[in-house]
A and B are shown apart, each in its own frame.
Chain A
Protein backbone atom coordinates (compact mmCIF):
# COMPACT_ATOMS: atom_id res chain seq x y z
CA UNK A 1 0.00 0.00 0.00
CA UNK A 2 2.64 2.49 1.02
CA UNK A 3 5.49 3.41 -1.21
CA UNK A 4 8.68 3.53 0.83
CA UNK A 5 10.30 5.53 -1.97
CA UNK A 6 8.27 8.60 -1.05
CA UNK A 7 9.79 10.07 2.06
CA UNK A 8 7.60 11.65 4.71
CA UNK A 9 4.40 9.80 3.82
CA UNK A 10 3.53 7.17 6.35
CA UNK A 11 1.49 4.17 5.43
CA UNK A 12 -1.25 4.99 7.96
CA UNK A 13 -1.77 8.56 6.68
CA UNK A 14 -2.39 7.35 3.15
CA UNK A 15 -4.67 4.62 4.37
CA UNK A 16 -6.84 7.16 6.17
CA UNK A 17 -7.39 9.06 2.96
CA UNK A 18 -8.85 6.11 1.15
CA UNK A 19 -12.18 7.08 -0.47
CA UNK A 20 -15.24 6.23 1.54
CA UNK A 21 -17.97 4.18 -0.06
CA UNK A 22 -21.10 6.04 -1.12
CA UNK A 23 -21.56 9.33 -2.98
CA UNK A 24 -18.60 11.63 -2.79
CA UNK A 25 -19.75 15.21 -2.76
CA UNK A 26 -17.66 18.27 -2.27
CA UNK A 27 -19.05 21.53 -0.98
CA UNK A 28 -17.44 24.53 -2.59
CA UNK A 29 -17.89 28.02 -1.26
CA UNK A 30 -17.99 30.68 -3.95
CA UNK A 31 -17.96 34.26 -2.80
CA UNK A 32 -18.84 36.58 -1.18
CA UNK A 33 -15.60 38.11 -2.45
CA UNK A 34 -15.47 36.33 -5.76
CA UNK A 35 -14.90 38.87 -8.57
CA UNK A 36 -17.40 37.24 -10.90
CA UNK A 37 -20.31 37.51 -8.51
CA UNK A 38 -20.49 41.26 -9.19
CA UNK A 39 -20.76 42.26 -5.60
CA UNK A 40 -21.14 40.14 -2.55
CA UNK A 41 -23.10 37.11 -3.58
CA UNK A 42 -22.16 33.85 -1.87
CA UNK A 43 -23.00 30.54 -3.47
CA UNK A 44 -22.65 27.23 -1.69
CA UNK A 45 -22.14 24.67 -4.41
CA UNK A 46 -22.37 20.95 -3.83
CA UNK A 47 -20.34 19.17 -6.47
CA UNK A 48 -20.12 15.68 -7.76
CA UNK A 49 -16.96 15.80 -9.83
CA UNK A 50 -17.49 18.91 -11.91
CA UNK A 51 -21.28 18.74 -11.96
CA UNK A 52 -23.28 20.93 -9.65
CA UNK A 53 -25.74 18.85 -7.67
CA UNK A 54 -27.05 21.55 -5.41
CA UNK A 55 -26.70 25.28 -5.04
CA UNK A 56 -27.63 27.50 -2.17
CA UNK A 57 -27.32 31.25 -2.67
CA UNK A 58 -26.63 33.33 0.41
CA UNK A 59 -27.53 37.00 0.13
CA UNK A 60 -27.87 39.89 2.51
CA UNK A 61 -24.26 41.06 2.71
CA UNK A 62 -25.25 44.42 1.26
CA UNK A 63 -28.45 44.88 3.23
CA UNK A 64 -28.52 48.49 4.36
CA UNK A 65 -32.10 48.86 5.52
CA UNK A 66 -33.10 51.28 2.78
CA UNK A 67 -36.79 50.45 3.19
CA UNK A 68 -36.57 51.42 6.85
CA UNK A 69 -34.65 54.54 5.96
CA UNK A 70 -37.45 55.62 3.63
CA UNK A 71 -39.79 55.90 6.59
CA UNK A 72 -37.55 58.55 8.14
CA UNK A 73 -37.30 60.78 5.09
CA UNK A 74 -39.59 63.27 3.45
CA UNK A 75 -40.89 62.17 0.09
CA UNK A 76 -38.55 64.52 -1.73
CA UNK A 77 -35.50 63.54 0.36
CA UNK A 78 -36.10 59.88 -0.34
CA UNK A 79 -35.17 60.34 -4.00
CA UNK A 80 -31.51 60.15 -2.98
CA UNK A 81 -32.08 56.72 -1.44
CA UNK A 82 -33.46 55.30 -4.64
CA UNK A 83 -30.23 56.02 -6.50
CA UNK A 84 -28.36 53.80 -4.14
CA UNK A 85 -30.56 50.76 -4.54
CA UNK A 86 -29.54 49.82 -8.04
CA UNK A 87 -26.40 51.83 -8.50
CA UNK A 88 -26.05 50.86 -12.14
CA UNK A 89 -29.48 52.25 -13.04
CA UNK A 90 -30.00 55.20 -10.70
CA UNK A 91 -32.36 57.10 -12.98
CA UNK A 92 -34.67 54.13 -13.45
CA UNK A 93 -35.05 53.94 -9.71
CA UNK A 94 -35.57 57.69 -9.45
CA UNK A 95 -38.31 57.36 -12.02
CA UNK A 96 -40.08 54.49 -10.29
CA UNK A 97 -40.18 56.33 -7.00
CA UNK A 98 -41.28 59.65 -8.51
CA UNK A 99 -44.04 58.02 -10.54
CA UNK A 100 -45.37 56.20 -7.48
CA UNK A 101 -45.53 59.36 -5.38
CA UNK A 102 -46.94 61.38 -8.27
CA UNK A 103 -49.66 58.76 -8.62
CA UNK A 104 -50.53 59.24 -4.95
CA UNK A 105 -50.53 63.00 -5.40
CA UNK A 106 -52.42 62.78 -8.73
CA UNK A 107 -49.82 65.15 -10.16
CA UNK A 108 -49.70 65.99 -13.84
CA UNK A 109 -46.18 66.15 -15.28
CA UNK A 110 -45.53 68.52 -18.22
CA UNK A 111 -44.53 66.89 -21.53
CA UNK A 112 -40.98 68.20 -21.61
CA UNK A 113 -40.21 66.67 -18.22
CA UNK A 114 -41.72 63.38 -19.33
CA UNK A 115 -39.67 63.27 -22.51
CA UNK A 116 -36.53 64.20 -20.63
CA UNK A 117 -37.26 61.36 -18.26
CA UNK A 118 -37.68 58.93 -21.13
CA UNK A 119 -34.46 60.10 -22.73
CA UNK A 120 -32.40 59.83 -19.57
CA UNK A 121 -33.82 56.47 -18.45
CA UNK A 122 -33.05 55.04 -21.86
CA UNK A 123 -29.49 56.35 -21.60
CA UNK A 124 -29.42 54.64 -18.21
CA UNK A 125 -30.52 51.41 -19.83
CA UNK A 126 -27.72 51.67 -22.38
CA UNK A 127 -25.24 52.47 -19.64
CA UNK A 128 -26.34 49.55 -17.50
CA UNK A 129 -26.26 47.10 -20.40
CA UNK A 130 -22.78 48.36 -21.27
CA UNK A 131 -21.54 47.56 -17.79
CA UNK A 132 -23.17 44.17 -18.04
CA UNK A 133 -21.66 43.44 -21.44
CA UNK A 134 -18.19 44.56 -20.45
CA UNK A 135 -18.06 42.68 -17.16
CA UNK A 136 -19.72 39.59 -18.54
CA UNK A 137 -17.24 39.46 -21.39
CA UNK A 138 -14.37 39.84 -18.94
CA UNK A 139 -15.77 36.99 -16.85
CA UNK A 140 -15.79 34.76 -19.88
CA UNK A 141 -12.37 35.87 -21.04
CA UNK A 142 -12.85 38.59 -23.65
CA UNK A 143 -10.81 41.34 -22.09
CA UNK A 144 -10.96 44.08 -24.70
CA UNK A 145 -14.77 44.39 -24.89
CA UNK A 146 -14.71 45.78 -21.39
CA UNK A 147 -12.56 48.72 -22.49
CA UNK A 148 -14.78 49.46 -25.47
CA UNK A 149 -17.96 49.32 -23.36
CA UNK A 150 -16.58 51.56 -20.64
CA UNK A 151 -15.50 54.10 -23.24
CA UNK A 152 -19.14 54.67 -24.21
CA UNK A 153 -20.33 54.37 -20.66
CA UNK A 154 -18.00 57.19 -19.75
CA UNK A 155 -19.66 59.37 -22.40
CA UNK A 156 -23.08 58.65 -20.89
CA UNK A 157 -21.86 59.37 -17.38
CA UNK A 158 -20.51 62.70 -18.61
CA UNK A 159 -23.95 63.47 -20.01
CA UNK A 160 -25.45 62.63 -16.62
CA UNK A 161 -22.90 64.89 -15.00
CA UNK A 162 -23.85 67.66 -17.37
CA UNK A 163 -27.50 67.35 -16.38
CA UNK A 164 -27.28 66.74 -12.67
CA UNK A 165 -23.73 67.45 -11.56
CA UNK A 166 -23.30 63.80 -10.60
CA UNK A 167 -21.97 60.90 -12.57
CA UNK A 168 -23.74 58.06 -10.82
CA UNK A 169 -26.01 59.08 -7.94
CA UNK A 170 -27.83 61.59 -10.06
CA UNK A 171 -31.13 62.10 -8.18
CA UNK A 172 -32.13 64.08 -11.22
CA UNK A 173 -35.80 63.18 -11.28
CA UNK A 174 -37.76 64.82 -8.52
CA UNK A 175 -41.38 64.53 -7.57
CA UNK A 176 -43.11 66.85 -9.99
CA UNK A 177 -40.49 66.89 -12.72
CA UNK A 178 -36.75 67.37 -12.85
CA UNK A 179 -34.30 68.63 -10.26
CA UNK A 180 -32.72 71.30 -12.43
CA UNK A 181 -33.36 73.00 -15.68
CA UNK A 182 -31.84 71.01 -18.56
CA UNK A 183 -28.38 72.53 -19.10
CA UNK A 184 -27.48 74.65 -22.08
CA UNK A 185 -25.95 72.62 -24.86
CA UNK A 186 -27.43 69.28 -23.84
CA UNK A 187 -29.04 68.83 -27.24
CA UNK A 188 -25.92 68.68 -29.45
CA UNK A 189 -24.08 66.71 -26.80
CA UNK A 190 -26.66 63.92 -26.57
CA UNK A 191 -27.25 63.99 -30.30
CA UNK A 192 -23.57 63.56 -31.04
CA UNK A 193 -23.34 60.61 -28.73
CA UNK A 194 -26.47 58.87 -29.93
CA UNK A 195 -25.67 59.36 -33.62
CA UNK A 196 -22.36 57.62 -33.16
CA UNK A 197 -23.63 54.93 -30.80
CA UNK A 198 -25.11 52.34 -33.24
CA UNK A 199 -21.73 51.97 -34.94
CA UNK A 200 -20.19 51.34 -31.52
CA UNK A 201 -22.69 48.55 -30.93
CA UNK A 202 -21.59 47.06 -34.24
CA UNK A 203 -18.07 47.19 -32.90
CA UNK A 204 -18.98 45.17 -29.78
CA UNK A 205 -20.82 42.69 -31.92
CA UNK A 206 -17.87 42.32 -34.27
CA UNK A 207 -15.76 41.44 -31.24
CA UNK A 208 -18.18 38.90 -29.80
CA UNK A 209 -21.00 37.57 -31.95
CA UNK A 210 -18.83 35.39 -34.18
CA UNK A 211 -16.05 34.93 -31.68
CA UNK A 212 -15.57 31.20 -31.28
CA UNK A 213 -14.59 31.34 -27.64
CA UNK A 214 -17.56 33.55 -26.84
CA UNK A 215 -20.09 31.39 -28.68
CA UNK A 216 -18.54 28.24 -27.27
CA UNK A 217 -18.91 29.53 -23.73
CA UNK A 218 -22.42 30.97 -24.14
CA UNK A 219 -24.41 28.98 -26.71
CA UNK A 220 -26.51 26.27 -25.13
CA UNK A 221 -25.43 27.32 -21.64
CA UNK A 222 -27.74 28.41 -18.85
CA UNK A 223 -31.07 27.02 -19.97
CA UNK A 224 -34.08 27.42 -17.70
CA UNK A 225 -37.67 26.85 -18.77
CA UNK A 226 -40.14 29.70 -19.10
CA UNK A 227 -42.46 28.04 -16.60
CA UNK A 228 -39.69 27.90 -14.02
CA UNK A 229 -38.81 31.53 -14.63
CA UNK A 230 -42.39 32.72 -14.23
CA UNK A 231 -42.81 30.58 -11.16
CA UNK A 232 -39.63 31.91 -9.58
CA UNK A 233 -40.25 35.59 -10.32
CA UNK A 234 -37.71 36.19 -13.09
CA UNK A 235 -38.35 39.25 -15.27
CA UNK A 236 -36.68 41.34 -17.91
CA UNK A 237 -34.23 40.30 -20.64
CA UNK A 238 -34.09 36.72 -19.34
CA UNK A 239 -37.79 36.22 -20.06
CA UNK A 240 -37.50 37.95 -23.40
CA UNK A 241 -34.62 35.66 -24.37
CA UNK A 242 -37.04 32.79 -23.77
CA UNK A 243 -39.59 34.14 -26.21
CA UNK A 244 -41.98 35.90 -23.85
CA UNK A 245 -42.74 39.42 -24.99
CA UNK A 246 -43.04 41.13 -21.65
CA UNK A 247 -42.02 44.71 -21.15
CA UNK A 248 -43.71 47.20 -18.85
CA UNK A 249 -42.93 50.01 -21.30
CA UNK A 250 -45.33 48.39 -23.78
CA UNK A 251 -47.71 46.54 -21.47
CA UNK A 252 -48.34 49.22 -18.87
CA UNK A 253 -46.96 52.40 -20.45
CA UNK A 254 -45.77 55.16 -18.13
CA UNK A 255 -44.15 58.53 -18.82
CA UNK A 256 -45.59 58.62 -22.37
CA UNK A 257 -43.68 55.55 -23.59
CA UNK A 258 -46.75 54.82 -25.70
CA UNK A 259 -45.78 57.78 -27.91
CA UNK A 260 -42.44 56.29 -28.85
CA UNK A 261 -41.81 53.83 -31.63
CA UNK A 262 -39.63 50.92 -30.57
CA UNK A 263 -39.53 47.15 -30.66
CA UNK A 264 -39.31 44.71 -27.79
CA UNK A 265 -36.75 42.16 -28.99
CA UNK A 266 -37.36 38.50 -28.24
CA UNK A 267 -35.41 35.30 -28.85
CA UNK A 268 -36.32 31.71 -28.30
CA UNK A 269 -32.97 30.03 -27.70
CA UNK A 270 -33.12 30.80 -23.99
CA UNK A 271 -29.41 30.53 -23.33
CA UNK A 272 -26.67 32.93 -22.32
CA UNK A 273 -26.00 33.84 -25.94
CA UNK A 274 -29.65 34.76 -26.53
CA UNK A 275 -29.60 36.96 -23.43
CA UNK A 276 -26.53 38.68 -24.82
CA UNK A 277 -28.28 39.26 -28.15
CA UNK A 278 -31.38 40.61 -26.41
CA UNK A 279 -29.37 43.13 -24.42
CA UNK A 280 -27.43 44.25 -27.47
CA UNK A 281 -30.66 44.72 -29.40
CA UNK A 282 -32.15 46.60 -26.45
CA UNK A 283 -29.27 49.04 -26.61
CA UNK A 284 -30.10 49.71 -30.24
CA UNK A 285 -33.77 50.17 -29.43
CA UNK A 286 -32.94 52.50 -26.55
CA UNK A 287 -30.80 54.54 -28.91
CA UNK A 288 -33.83 54.79 -31.20
CA UNK A 289 -35.97 56.05 -28.32
CA UNK A 290 -33.35 58.59 -27.27
CA UNK A 291 -33.17 59.85 -30.82
CA UNK A 292 -36.94 60.27 -31.02
CA UNK A 293 -36.93 62.02 -27.67
CA UNK A 294 -34.29 64.51 -28.82
CA UNK A 295 -35.99 65.22 -32.11
CA UNK A 296 -39.48 65.57 -30.70
CA UNK A 297 -38.65 67.22 -27.39
CA UNK A 298 -41.74 69.33 -26.64
CA UNK A 299 -41.20 72.87 -25.42
CA UNK A 300 -42.52 74.11 -22.14
CA UNK A 301 -41.99 73.62 -18.45
CA UNK A 302 -39.64 71.01 -17.00
CA UNK A 303 -41.51 70.78 -13.70
CA UNK A 304 -45.13 70.63 -12.72
CA UNK A 305 -47.12 73.67 -11.72
CA UNK A 306 -47.73 72.57 -8.14
CA UNK A 307 -46.22 75.09 -5.73
CA UNK A 308 -46.95 72.97 -2.64
CA UNK A 309 -44.86 70.09 -4.00
CA UNK A 310 -42.28 71.49 -6.41
CA UNK A 311 -39.56 73.83 -5.24
CA UNK A 312 -39.93 77.32 -6.77
CA UNK A 313 -37.38 78.83 -9.15
CA UNK A 314 -34.45 80.49 -7.43
CA UNK A 315 -35.34 83.81 -9.03
CA UNK A 316 -38.93 83.73 -7.77
CA UNK A 317 -37.74 82.76 -4.34
CA UNK A 318 -35.70 85.93 -4.13
CA UNK A 319 -38.48 88.20 -5.36
CA UNK A 320 -41.78 86.69 -4.26
CA UNK A 321 -42.89 86.24 -0.68
CA UNK A 322 -45.12 83.28 -1.47
CA UNK A 323 -42.40 81.37 -3.28
CA UNK A 324 -40.10 81.86 -0.31
CA UNK A 325 -42.74 80.49 2.06
CA UNK A 326 -43.33 77.43 -0.11
CA UNK A 327 -39.61 76.84 -0.37
CA UNK A 328 -39.24 77.03 3.39
CA UNK A 329 -42.18 74.71 3.99
CA UNK A 330 -41.09 72.07 1.47
CA UNK A 331 -37.52 72.03 2.68
CA UNK A 332 -38.22 72.00 6.40
CA UNK A 333 -41.31 69.88 6.77
CA UNK A 334 -41.90 68.36 3.34
CA UNK A 335 -45.29 68.09 1.72
CA UNK A 336 -48.19 65.94 2.73
CA UNK A 337 -49.26 63.12 0.49
CA UNK A 338 -52.87 61.88 0.53
CA UNK A 339 -53.36 58.60 2.37
CA UNK A 340 -53.48 55.51 0.21
CA UNK A 341 -51.26 52.96 -1.45
CA UNK A 342 -49.91 52.45 -4.94
CA UNK A 343 -47.80 49.88 -6.71
CA UNK A 344 -45.97 51.49 -9.60
CA UNK A 345 -44.15 49.23 -12.02
CA UNK A 346 -41.51 50.32 -14.52
CA UNK A 347 -39.13 48.39 -16.75
CA UNK A 348 -35.65 48.80 -15.34
CA UNK A 349 -32.69 47.45 -17.36
CA UNK A 350 -32.88 44.30 -15.26
CA UNK A 351 -36.60 43.70 -15.38
CA UNK A 352 -39.71 44.61 -13.45
CA UNK A 353 -39.05 47.28 -10.87
CA UNK A 354 -42.02 48.00 -8.63
CA UNK A 355 -42.43 50.61 -5.94
CA UNK A 356 -45.11 49.86 -3.37
CA UNK A 357 -45.71 53.04 -1.41
CA UNK A 358 -48.11 53.31 1.52
CA UNK A 359 -48.97 56.79 2.70
CA UNK A 360 -50.78 57.70 5.90
CA UNK A 361 -51.30 61.33 4.92
CA UNK A 362 -48.16 62.75 6.54
CA UNK A 363 -44.96 64.08 4.98
CA UNK A 364 -43.14 60.77 5.49
CA UNK A 365 -43.97 57.56 3.64
CA UNK A 366 -45.52 55.04 6.01
CA UNK A 367 -43.99 52.08 4.23
CA UNK A 368 -42.03 51.63 1.03
CA UNK A 369 -41.33 48.29 -0.52
CA UNK A 370 -39.23 47.87 -3.60
CA UNK A 371 -39.92 44.94 -5.82
CA UNK A 372 -36.48 44.80 -7.32
CA UNK A 373 -35.69 42.79 -10.44
CA UNK A 374 -32.37 41.48 -9.14
CA UNK A 375 -33.99 39.80 -6.15
CA UNK A 376 -36.43 37.93 -8.35
CA UNK A 377 -33.82 37.04 -10.95
CA UNK A 378 -31.34 35.79 -8.41
CA UNK A 379 -33.89 33.43 -6.95
CA UNK A 380 -33.71 31.26 -10.07
CA UNK A 381 -29.97 30.61 -9.61
CA UNK A 382 -30.27 27.11 -8.06
CA UNK A 383 -32.63 25.99 -10.84
CA UNK A 384 -30.44 27.63 -13.45
CA UNK A 385 -27.14 26.01 -12.56
CA UNK A 386 -28.05 22.70 -10.95
CA UNK A 387 -26.90 19.93 -13.24
CA UNK A 388 -24.51 22.12 -15.20
CA UNK A 389 -20.75 22.11 -15.07
CA UNK A 390 -18.90 24.32 -12.66
CA UNK A 391 -17.17 26.07 -15.56
CA UNK A 392 -20.56 27.33 -16.76
CA UNK A 393 -21.59 28.81 -13.42
CA UNK A 394 -20.00 32.18 -14.11
CA UNK A 395 -21.55 32.45 -17.57
CA UNK A 396 -24.98 31.47 -16.24
CA UNK A 397 -25.17 33.72 -13.21
CA UNK A 398 -23.61 36.57 -15.17
CA UNK A 399 -26.45 36.34 -17.68
CA UNK A 400 -28.97 37.10 -14.93
CA UNK A 401 -27.48 40.58 -14.65
CA UNK A 402 -28.14 41.18 -10.99
CA UNK A 403 -26.84 44.00 -8.86
CA UNK A 404 -26.40 43.06 -5.25
CA UNK A 405 -27.39 46.47 -3.97
CA UNK A 406 -30.66 45.95 -5.78
CA UNK A 407 -31.06 42.48 -4.29
CA UNK A 408 -30.29 43.24 -0.67
CA UNK A 409 -31.52 46.81 -0.45
Chain B
Protein backbone atom coordinates (compact mmCIF):
# COMPACT_ATOMS: atom_id res chain seq x y z
CA UNK B 1 0.00 0.00 0.00
CA UNK B 2 1.44 3.32 -1.00
CA UNK B 3 1.00 5.97 1.72
CA UNK B 4 -1.07 8.98 0.68
CA UNK B 5 1.76 11.47 1.09
CA UNK B 6 3.81 9.66 -1.59
CA UNK B 7 1.19 10.05 -4.33
CA UNK B 8 2.92 13.17 -5.61
CA UNK B 9 6.12 11.24 -6.37
CA UNK B 10 6.15 10.04 -9.95
CA UNK B 11 8.38 7.04 -9.23
CA UNK B 12 6.27 5.84 -6.32
CA UNK B 13 3.04 6.08 -8.31
CA UNK B 14 4.68 4.42 -11.31
CA UNK B 15 5.74 1.48 -9.17
CA UNK B 16 2.25 1.29 -7.73
CA UNK B 17 0.71 1.31 -11.19
CA UNK B 18 3.08 -1.47 -12.22
CA UNK B 19 2.43 -3.73 -9.25
CA UNK B 20 0.37 -2.38 -6.38
CA UNK B 21 0.91 -5.47 -4.22
CA UNK B 22 4.67 -5.05 -4.29
CA UNK B 23 4.77 -1.89 -2.19
CA UNK B 24 4.54 -2.59 1.52
CA UNK B 25 5.01 1.02 2.57
CA UNK B 26 7.17 4.01 1.79
CA UNK B 27 8.57 7.21 3.20
CA UNK B 28 9.92 10.48 1.93
CA UNK B 29 12.33 11.97 4.43
CA UNK B 30 15.17 14.46 4.05
CA UNK B 31 14.60 14.55 0.32
CA UNK B 32 15.11 10.82 -0.08
CA UNK B 33 12.45 8.43 -1.31
CA UNK B 34 12.31 4.99 0.28
CA UNK B 35 10.00 2.26 -0.93
CA UNK B 36 9.58 -0.92 1.03
CA UNK B 37 9.07 -3.80 -1.36
CA UNK B 38 7.71 -7.27 -0.65
CA UNK B 39 10.79 -9.55 -0.77
CA UNK B 40 9.30 -11.86 -3.38
CA UNK B 41 8.79 -8.99 -5.82
CA UNK B 42 12.21 -7.35 -5.67
CA UNK B 43 13.53 -8.65 -9.00
CA UNK B 44 10.47 -7.61 -10.99
CA UNK B 45 10.41 -4.16 -9.37
CA UNK B 46 14.12 -3.66 -10.02
CA UNK B 47 13.63 -4.72 -13.63
CA UNK B 48 10.74 -2.29 -13.98
CA UNK B 49 12.75 0.55 -12.47
CA UNK B 50 15.78 -0.17 -14.62
CA UNK B 51 14.11 -0.64 -17.99
CA UNK B 52 11.01 1.56 -17.70
CA UNK B 53 12.07 4.26 -15.26
CA UNK B 54 15.70 4.63 -16.42
CA UNK B 55 17.30 3.71 -13.11
CA UNK B 56 20.29 2.42 -15.05
CA UNK B 57 22.66 2.27 -12.11
CA UNK B 58 22.56 0.15 -9.03
CA UNK B 59 24.60 2.24 -6.66
CA UNK B 60 24.90 -0.23 -3.83
CA UNK B 61 23.28 -3.14 -2.01
CA UNK B 62 23.64 -3.46 1.71
CA UNK B 63 21.74 -4.65 4.77
CA UNK B 64 20.78 -3.50 8.23
CA UNK B 65 20.42 -5.89 11.14
CA UNK B 66 17.47 -4.97 13.39
CA UNK B 67 18.25 -7.67 15.95
CA UNK B 68 16.36 -8.70 18.10
CA UNK B 69 13.20 -7.48 16.37
CA UNK B 70 11.63 -9.46 13.54
CA UNK B 71 11.77 -9.37 10.54
CA UNK B 72 15.38 -9.06 11.45
CA UNK B 73 17.16 -7.91 8.29
CA UNK B 74 16.55 -5.07 5.91
CA UNK B 75 18.19 -5.51 2.55
CA UNK B 76 18.69 -2.03 1.11
CA UNK B 77 19.17 -1.14 -2.56
CA UNK B 78 20.18 2.30 -3.77
CA UNK B 79 19.24 3.04 -7.36
CA UNK B 80 20.36 5.96 -9.46
CA UNK B 81 18.83 7.44 -12.62
CA UNK B 82 21.61 9.42 -14.27
CA UNK B 83 19.56 11.46 -16.73
CA UNK B 84 16.82 12.42 -14.28
CA UNK B 85 19.38 12.90 -11.49
CA UNK B 86 17.18 10.93 -9.16
CA UNK B 87 17.84 8.34 -6.53
CA UNK B 88 15.52 5.88 -4.88
CA UNK B 89 16.04 3.49 -2.00
CA UNK B 90 14.37 0.09 -2.00
CA UNK B 91 14.08 -1.96 1.10
CA UNK B 92 13.07 -5.55 1.75
CA UNK B 93 12.50 -7.01 5.18
CA UNK B 94 13.77 -10.55 5.62
CA UNK B 95 13.17 -12.85 8.61
CA UNK B 96 16.10 -13.90 10.76
CA UNK B 97 15.63 -17.67 10.45
CA UNK B 98 17.32 -18.82 7.24
CA UNK B 99 17.34 -15.36 5.69
CA UNK B 100 17.13 -15.47 1.91
CA UNK B 101 16.08 -13.20 -0.92
CA UNK B 102 16.15 -13.39 -4.69
CA UNK B 103 19.33 -12.00 -6.26
CA UNK B 104 19.10 -8.99 -8.56
CA UNK B 105 22.19 -9.99 -10.56
CA UNK B 106 19.86 -10.81 -13.45
CA UNK B 107 18.99 -7.10 -13.63
CA UNK B 108 22.40 -5.59 -12.86
CA UNK B 109 25.50 -7.77 -13.14
CA UNK B 110 27.16 -5.36 -10.74
CA UNK B 111 24.98 -6.61 -7.89
CA UNK B 112 27.26 -9.64 -7.80
CA UNK B 113 29.92 -8.34 -5.42
CA UNK B 114 27.51 -6.30 -3.32
CA UNK B 115 25.36 -9.33 -2.68
CA UNK B 116 28.41 -11.42 -1.95
CA UNK B 117 29.42 -8.83 0.63
CA UNK B 118 25.99 -8.90 2.27
CA UNK B 119 26.08 -12.71 2.22
CA UNK B 120 29.52 -12.69 3.77
CA UNK B 121 28.95 -10.12 6.49
CA UNK B 122 25.25 -10.69 7.29
CA UNK B 123 24.67 -14.29 6.23
CA UNK B 124 21.73 -13.53 3.95
CA UNK B 125 21.38 -16.02 1.11
CA UNK B 126 20.83 -14.66 -2.38
CA UNK B 127 18.93 -17.16 -4.47
CA UNK B 128 20.03 -17.69 -8.10
CA UNK B 129 23.25 -15.78 -7.49
CA UNK B 130 25.96 -16.92 -9.94
CA UNK B 131 28.84 -17.02 -7.49
CA UNK B 132 27.77 -16.81 -3.86
CA UNK B 133 31.01 -17.05 -1.88
CA UNK B 134 32.56 -15.04 0.90
CA UNK B 135 34.31 -11.95 -0.42
CA UNK B 136 35.82 -10.11 2.56
CA UNK B 137 36.37 -12.79 5.19
CA UNK B 138 38.44 -15.96 4.69
CA UNK B 139 36.48 -18.86 3.17
CA UNK B 140 36.59 -20.89 6.38
CA UNK B 141 35.42 -18.06 8.63
CA UNK B 142 32.62 -18.81 11.07
CA UNK B 143 29.87 -16.29 11.70
CA UNK B 144 28.86 -13.08 10.02
CA UNK B 145 30.66 -10.04 11.47
CA UNK B 146 28.16 -7.28 10.76
CA UNK B 147 25.34 -9.00 12.60
CA UNK B 148 24.46 -7.23 15.81
CA UNK B 149 24.94 -10.39 17.90
CA UNK B 150 28.50 -10.83 16.62
CA UNK B 151 30.99 -9.71 19.29
CA UNK B 152 33.21 -6.72 18.63
CA UNK B 153 36.04 -7.81 20.90
CA UNK B 154 37.60 -11.22 21.30
CA UNK B 155 37.10 -13.38 24.36
CA UNK B 156 39.71 -13.20 27.10
CA UNK B 157 41.61 -16.41 27.61
Contacting residues, chain A, for B112 (C-beta < 8 A): 379
Contacting residues, chain B, for A340 (C-beta < 8 A): 29-30
Q: How many A-B residue pairs have CB under 8 A?
A: 83
Contact A343 B65 (CB under 8 A): no
Q: How far is the CA of A60 from the CA of B56 in the complex (A)?
A: 27
Complex interface bits, B31-61 against A, C-beta within 8 A gives 1, otherwise 0? 0101000000000000000000000111110
Complex interface bits, A61-86 against B, C-beta within 8 A gives 1, otherwise 0? 00101011001100000000000000
Contact A231 B110 (CB under 8 A): yes
| Shortest beta-carbon distance from A77 to chain B in Å | 14
Q: How far is the CA of A265 from the CA of B117 in the complex (A)?
A: 33
Interface check A122, CB cutoff 8 A: no
| Shortest beta-carbon distance from A404 to chain B in Å | 12
Residue among B60, B65, B82, B146 making CB contact with A354, cutoff 8 Å:
B60
Q: How far is the CA of A192 from the CA of B96 in the complex (A)?
A: 59
| Shortest beta-carbon distance from B49 to chain A in Å | 14
Q: How far is the CA of A379 from the CA of B113 in the complex (A)?
A: 7
| Shortest beta-carbon distance from A252 to chain B in Å | 6
The stretch among A202-210, A326-334, A369-377, A391-399 that forms the contact with chain B is A369-377
Q: How many B residues are at the interface, by size bracket?
A: 20 to 34
Contacting residues, chain B, for A232 (C-beta < 8 A): 109-110
Interface check A246, CB cutoff 8 A: yes
Q: How many A residues are at the interface, by size bracket?
A: 35 or more
Interface check B129, CB cutoff 8 A: no
Asked if A233 meets B32 with Cβ closer than 8 Å, knowing A367-B65, A408-B136, the reply is no
Q: How far is the CA of A343 from the CA of B34 in the complex (A)?
A: 11
Contact B76 A63 (CB under 8 A): no
Interface check A197, CB cutoff 8 A: no
Complex interface bits, A25-66 against B, C-beta within 8 A gives 1, otherwise 0? 000000000000000000000000000000000011001010
Contact A252 B56 (CB under 8 A): no
Interface residues of A, Cβ cutoff 8 Å to B: 59-60, 63, 65, 67-68, 71-72, 103-104, 106, 230-233, 244, 246, 251-252, 340-343, 345, 352, 354, 356, 358, 366-367, 369, 371, 375-376, 379, 408-409
Interface residues of B, Cβ cutoff 8 Å to A: 29-30, 32, 34, 56-60, 62, 64-65, 76, 78, 82, 85, 87, 89, 108-110, 112-114, 121, 134-138, 145-146, 150, 152
Give 5 closest A-B pairs by Cβ, nearest first: A233-B110, A371-B60, A369-B62, A63-B136, A232-B110
